[in-house]
Structure 1
Amino acid sequence: MLRARFGHEDFLPGQAAVVAALLEGRDALAVMPTGAGKSLLYQLPAAMGAAPVVVVSPLISLMRDQLRGLARSGVAAVALHSGQSEEEHGAARAAIASGRAKLVYLAPERLAGDGAIELLRAAGVALLAVDEAHCVSHWGHEFRPDYARLGEIAARLGAPVLAVTATAGPRTRADIIASLFTRAPEVFVASFARPNLRLSFRPRGDAEGRLSRFLRRRPGESGVVYVRSRREADETAARLRRLGFDALAYHAGLDAQTRAAHQDAFFARPGVVMAATIAFGMGVDKKDVRFVVHADPPDSIEAYYQEIGRAGRDGRTADALALFDPRELAGRFGFAPPADDPVALGETERRRAMARLCLTPACRFQTLLAAFGEESGRCGRCDNCRGGLLALPRRAGLVALGWRVALLARFSSADAERLDAPEETPSPAVAPGLSIAPTEERLSVAEERLYRRLLHLRLDIARRRRLSPRAVASDMMLRRLAITRPSMIGDFPPGEIVDAPAFLCEIEAYDE
């Protein structure tokens, strides 16, 4: 079937064992890098008669790509998504109800509806496959909150479960297993090594100059510059164009037509630099991306690995450069989350692991692979490995920088404790429609994530202005902001937020 339907002479490493487990009705978690053939893991069982297979996929573009490939293979597949006409949607449901569809693709939001679950239960689902399964974990499900419901949905469907992802360290794998599976799955983990990637890290300093010099050494090559906010994406693209580069912006704030035009240009024109937020990621399968730059380090090694994995998919050498601010790294170590909050503890440890990767004088790839639970030798390609003895002064500089960050973190922690000490403050006035009375209302996953971002932002503002965090905004106010998300300055209670326009502008930087 592999040869006849899919045109492959043999399995890629790791595929056969996963397919065998699924054909025997066992649950499985497969962690395999980009290009390792994860989609075949659920497509082949469907072609062999273990059908229908329900595939949870995060993007319509990914669904369409797989449907085109399956049509060429002669495997009947349909999708249910918001981009369909009523006629297309009805035809897909009829194919599912009649048993003609061997694979059914849905987004998690679509699958969460009772109508879809009942339709699929009636069809007798043979396998539930969850793509991009890291979104099930604590660090990922705020991106798509309905991923957090997939464990409950899997139990209702009563079918074996396959979770696949290219990005999951030991902690994230544990999150996925706890959230998604009702029985212990077989876990298959392929190597995370990417021999064609060269990793480099630099203190930000003159960030524009560093980025310009980096790009000028790569004329005519395409790549991505990741930034934290929509505003930074627009500003970075504009600055690069002024410097003579073919640069475009990509973020969720652009209209669909502009996003599509910029993505098409990135695929069609050589030498395009895309200044983008994380909105530019999944579904972007351009084989000859030669570099990925992070203007700021991501919040986790998993996110970093996933984003640099978009470079060098053709197997040729590609570069990954990350710029970092030592003060920001110190904040990752100086911030202490509540000891009784496992979600916050896990998130903080992931942020610190990324900071350690920025500061290590050891082999970067060896350190990165260790975070995924994989042992390896020195890569010989990263900035700490290249240059032999000539690299010693720079590595010694990283040791010194690490001590500096540790000292900054200690002072940062002490300042946070002092600034957040209890104090007598008058009760603020309350504006109509935005109550700040104590509430036991539970936050959703997305609201909890936003609330924690607001706490970080409040502490940063307090440090810069030498204020108590409560003088910037109360805890209860931040909870209400996370729930109601007011967009007008007039929605804020008078006196409750210092300099509301500036606070709104800073919140906006966290929009992704």
Structure 2
Amino acid sequence: MRRSPADMEEARRILRTRFGHEDFLPGQAAVVAALLEGRDALAVMPTGAGKSLLYQLPAAMGVAPVVVVSPLISLMRDQLRGLARSGVAAVALHSGQSEEEHGAALAAIADRRAKLVYLAPERLAGDGTIALLRAAGVALLAVDEAHCVSHWGHEFRPDYARLGEIAARLGAPVLAVTATAGPRTRADIIASLFTRAPEVFVSSFARPNLRLSFRPRGDAAGRLTRFLRRREGESGVVYVNSRRKADAMAATLRGLGFDALAYHAGLDAATRAAHQDAFFERAGVAMIATIAFGMGVDKKDVRFVVHADPPDSIEAYYQEIGRAGRDGLPADALALFDPRELAGRFGFAPPADDPVALGETERRRAMARLCLTPACRFQTLLAAFGEESGRCGRCDNCRGGLMALPRRAGLVALGWRVAVLARFAGAGAERLDEPEETPTPAAAASVSLEPSVSLEPKEEPLSVAEERLYRRLLLLRLDIAKRRRLPPRAVASDAALRRLAVTRALDGESVIAAEAFLRAVAEA
């Protein structure tokens, strides 16, 4: 499969004539060049970055057949329709085919007419399928949604775990692509899927047009109604965690005058198709959906994504908010959470010898930290993918300048309350404000208002400035306690005040921020 560097010019010509693109999107050219030179590659690129082109373009250039492992029949069908328009011969093998369609696909593979072959990992695992593909001389094995290979990926699928063995039997170069894989997941993909070290390409996950906001759920119906009222006439997705909620919420919103439709796996195929068509064809539709409405959704003008229930991982959250603003215009992502539910994510430690349970637990905890952090949301999110960044300036924790300090302080107080609830659930003294992996640049750059959730006092003596601020906070706490008729430690513990004093320097702005924090703790 090794090609000369001059073939990149041919790649650009085919990119224009077959696929209708003037040039590569950022990150695509380097991956295509590696594949044309016969190297293995892992490409981590955000939603909308053009991952499918990475394996479709080599196939159109004659590097064929390319076998594409894809998790959903709907994704296969979407890509087959696009390839038909581009004039690239492609077939699929899946359970939704008629006997005639299945036989035609097998014949196209055997005759080497098919440039791309799409199939699910379950179908690829059969000995007969592997023999057929080996006889066809597979030039590249492309694994889409490659995070499914990893126990640490947010959608681990056992059938994906066999792909490393199957890749070795096919003997072809391997391309793994995913939109959501942090450093630990990437390492697991490499160990599980590749027999030789791949080139790793990680594109930026920054989405400058997205505005992230998180709120305690409280009156969820009221919050959601107000949010949608401000966006009437705009299309978006509201994610919930059950079919029952999707149906009930869609009905409630319709009763309030919104164009709201439900989408979940419990609906019959005709209803799902009708609702999906309406979402794509009508302006102002709010799709109330479970995660069944996700992969393959490519509507450019989605203006908002709401999580009425937080997803189980940062990766899933990022993938789902990636449906918004794909036209590059501003879009909003709002997530509602229940502090008690977040505490439950820290309450029980999984067995140390169960990698699936460990991966699931840490993903859920990382998402809880994102809900509770008073630091920049996008900075924290990007750090989970191993990417350094400055403050985004657009999220709810960045907007408002000094005026936002009390609200951010309230998040710190809420984090402490979650920690207490988690301890009752069996979490011990686990810290909720930082991940278990190596501290990231974003954690180091987070706002100095963020203390540890662990309330153990520091052993080191306080400096003169710290001691002065500590005593000032003790007096302020006493004043608050008297006015509220509470014991002082019911307002904030000595350890909490000591930690706060250590995190602030004794200048005017710091004292204001510290006092605002203490008042927010008392009112939270």
TM-score by length of 1: 0.78
Matched, 1:126 2:139: yes
Q: CA RMSD in A?
A: 1.6
Matched, 1:175 2:188: yes
1:257 partner amino acid: A
2:410 partner amino acid: G
CA distance in structure 1 between the partners assigned to 2:128 and 2:54 by the alignment: 27
| 2:334 aligned residue | 321
CA distance in structure 2 between the partners assigned to 1:414 and 1:45 by the alignment: 50
Gaps of 5+ in 1: 416-512
1:374 partner amino acid: E
Which of 251, 262, 266 lines up with 1:253 in the alignment? 266
Matched, 1:166 2:184: no
CA distance in structure 2 between the partners assigned to 1:187 and 1:358 by the alignment: 30
Q: Is the 8 A contact 1:77 1:104 kept in 2?
A: yes
The structural deviation recorded for 1:346 is 2.3
More displaced stretch, 367-376 vs 242-251: 242-251
| 1:205 aligned residue | 218
CA distance in structure 1 between the partners assigned to 2:219 and 2:155 by the alignment: 33
Percent of paired sites with the same residue: 93
| 1:238 aligned residue | 251
Matched, 1:137 2:164: no
1:314 partner amino acid: D
| 1:28 aligned residue | 41
Instruction: Provide Cα deviations, 1:325-344, integer angstroms capped at 9, x if missing partner.
Output: 11111111222112233332
Q: Is the 8 A contact 1:81 1:106 kept in 2?
A: yes
| 1:227 aligned residue | 240
| 1:42 aligned residue | 55
| 2:109 aligned residue | 96
Q: Is the 8 A contact 2:392 2:398 kept in 1?
A: yes
Match runs of 1:435-446 below 5 Å: none
Gaps of 5+ in 2: 1-13, 429-524
CA distance in structure 1 between the partners assigned to 2:310 and 2:55 by the alignment: 34
| 1:78 aligned residue | 91
| 2:281 aligned residue | 268
Matched, 1:295 2:308: yes
Match runs of 1:471-482 below 5 Å: none
Secondary structure class of the residue paired with 2:68: strand
CA distance in structure 2 between the partners assigned to 1:391 and 1:294 by the alignment: 23
The structural deviation recorded for 1:112 is 2.0
CA distance in structure 2 between the partners assigned to 1:248 and 1:97 by the alignment: 44
Q: Is the 8 A contact 1:141 1:148 kept in 2?
A: no
| 1:185 aligned residue | 198
| 1:66 aligned residue | 79
The structural deviation recorded for 1:141 is 7.8
CA separation of 1:139 and 1:243: change in aligned 2, threshold 3 A: farther
Secondary structure class of the residue paired with 1:382: coil
| 2:209 aligned residue | 196
Secondary structure class of the residue paired with 2:234: coil
Which of 16, 28, 40 lines up with 1:15 in the alignment? 28
Q: Is the 8 A contact 2:217 2:337 kept in 1?
A: yes
> Which of structure 1's runs of 4+ aligned residues deviate more than 6 A?
none
Count of aligned pairs: 415
Match runs of 1:468-507 below 5 Å: none
The structural deviation recorded for 1:347 is 1.9
CA distance in structure 1 between the partners assigned to 2:66 and 2:360 by the alignment: 33
CA separation of 1:107 and 1:342: change in aligned 2, threshold 3 A: closer
2:121 partner amino acid: P
Secondary structure class of the residue paired with 2:288: strand
Secondary structure class of the residue paired with 1:30: strand
2:317 partner amino acid: Y
Instruction: Provide Cα deviations, 1:96-141, integer angstroms capped at 9, x if missing partner.
Output: 1111111111122222222221111110101000111112222558
| 1:503 aligned residue | none
Q: Is the 8 A contact 2:235 2:302 kept in 1?
A: yes
The structural deviation recorded for 1:247 is 1.2
Structure of higher CA gyration radius: 2
CA distance in structure 2 between the partners assigned to 1:122 and 1:135 by the alignment: 27
Q: Is the 8 A contact 2:263 2:290 kept in 1?
A: yes
Match runs of 1:318-467 below 5 Å: 318-413=331-426
CA distance in structure 1 between the partners assigned to 2:229 and 2:427 by the alignment: 43
Which of 45, 57, 61 lines up with 2:70 in the alignment? 57
The structural deviation recorded for 1:32 is 0.6
CA distance in structure 2 between the partners assigned to 1:99 and 1:414 by the alignment: 57
Q: Is the 8 A contact 2:149 2:156 kept in 1?
A: no
CA distance in structure 1 between the partners assigned to 2:424 and 2:79 by the alignment: 52
| 1:462 aligned residue | none
2:67 partner amino acid: V
Matched, 1:284 2:297: yes
Q: Is the 8 A contact 1:57 1:130 kept in 2?
A: yes
Q: Is the 8 A contact 2:217 2:338 kept in 1?
A: yes
| 1:151 aligned residue | 164
Q: Is the 8 A contact 1:59 1:283 kept in 2?
A: no
Secondary structure class of the residue paired with 2:361: helix
Secondary structure class of the residue paired with 1:290: strand
More displaced stretch, 76-85 vs 371-380: 76-85
The structural deviation recorded for 1:345 is 2.1
The structural deviation recorded for 1:26 is 1.3
Instruction: Provide Cα deviations, 1:316-365, integer angstroms capped at 9, x if missing partner.
Output: 11111001111111111222112233332222111111111001111100
Secondary structure class of the residue paired with 1:252: coil
Secondary structure class of the residue paired with 1:65: helix
The structural deviation recorded for 1:142 is 5.9
1:335 partner amino acid: F
